[in-house]
Each structure stands twice: as C-alpha cells, then as structure tokens.
Amino acid sequence: MPADAVVRARPGLLRAALLIAAKDLAIELRTRSAILSALAFTLLAVVIFFFAWDATAVASIDLAPGVLWVIFTFSGLLALNRSFALEQNDRALDALLASPVDRESIFLGKALGNLVFVCLIQACAIPAVALFYNLPLTGVWPALLALTVAAAVGLVSVGTLFSAMATNTRMAELLLPMLALPFFVPVVMPAAQVTARLLAGRPMDEAWPWLRILLAFDLVFLVACTLAFPYTLED
C-alpha cells in the first residue's frame, strides 16, 4: 500500500482511542469475568464493613464515605490489573503497538475502557452502601455520581499508566498496587471529603475547595500520564 494511502487510513487520536476502548469492553462483555469478580468483591466488602461497624461508636453518615471510597479504590485495582492483561494472550500487545495508531491513543483507549468499568462498579457500590447505611441520597445523588466520574478519571489515569509498566513483570498483581496506591491518595482523599459534606447536607461552598483539589489532580494526572505512556512500552 502506498505511504500516502497508509496515512489516509490511519485513524485519528480520538477515533483510535474509541476503537480500543470498544474492543476492550466487547471482550469484557463476552467473558464477564472481571466485572463479576469486581462486583462480588464490592458487595462482600460492603457486607464485611457493615458487620464490623459499631453503630454506637460511629454514626453511619460519618463512616459511609470512607467505606465507599475504600471499596472504590480496591475494586478499581481489579479493573486496572486486567487492562493490559487482555493483551498478553497471543502477543496481542505487540500487534497493538505495531498498529498505525499513536501510543497516546492506546493509553486514552485503555483509560476510557477502564473508566467505564470503574463507573459501572461504583454504580453498584453506591446503592449498596446507601442501603446498608441508610444514607439520604434523594437530593445528592446527581452530585455524587458526578463526583464519582471525576474521581474515576484520576484513578484510571494513574492506574492505566502503572498497569502498562507492570504488565511485563513477573509480579504484576503485586507491583501494580504498590505503585498506584500512593498516587490514589490525592484523588480519594478529596473525593471522600466532598462525599462527607454532601451526605451531611452541608453547603457546596464547604466542599468546593476539596473539589478543586480533585479536579486539579485529575488534570495533572491525565496530561502527565498521557505524555509519559509512550515511554513505558517497548516495541
């Protein structure tokens, strides 16, 4: 094929990212192994936290934000661990790297697929936590869902990068949490603080400083991880 035809056939950054995300999600919908494992972990964690909770010592509305975001963090790791594991069979990662797409498209596609996966898990975790801890979500659930998406952006940005770095190591399942968890703290901490204020019915002005920190980290992590990703994988 002539060089100019190859250039014309090469998908753009966003289109290539959407194609990669659609491919990952199609594989997951066909197997359902990771999503079922993550959902089972989420529900079991909610139950364990509930029965370990002393209602006379800590009010449910004070405990629930921490429970919700701890579950969010560790269930998200399950999604991120499978991100590049999908490409290990039959050296599919080599084929992906050899395809006529930018490395940034691979990162954005993987991150977008992980974002959908994590948001689906959280969409099940929030009602479960609300049910067990009798949380008042009537007026705050739209803000809570938007907060979840914002936190998920930061989490999957960092997690996708470290998943790519750990994928070819012998202890990827252990290395990924060790690398990623310290970087999850600046995402999970403000998210938990905003959640606590939303559930307590406090004015949004009190949550706004924490929300700005979360959005700032999202922007920094997304840009930095996208630029760093091409250097994490060898051809």
Q: What is the pLDDT of residues 55-94, one digit of tens each?
A: 777 788 888 888 889 888 888 887 787 777 767 666 667 7
Mean pLDDT of 13-38: 82
Taking alpha carbons only, the member of 24, 36, 23 closest to residue 121 is 36
| Prediction pTM value | 0.85
- Cα 32 vs. chain centroid, distance in angstroms? 17
- Lowest mean per-residue pLDDT among 11-20, 147-156, 219-228: 11-20
Burial of 104 per CB tally in 10 Å (0-12, 13-18, 19+): middle
Q: Alpha carbon of 12 to those of 103, 116, 150: distances in Å? A: 12, 21, 25
Rounded Cα distance, 220 and 105, in Å = 18
pLDDT at 13 over 70: yes
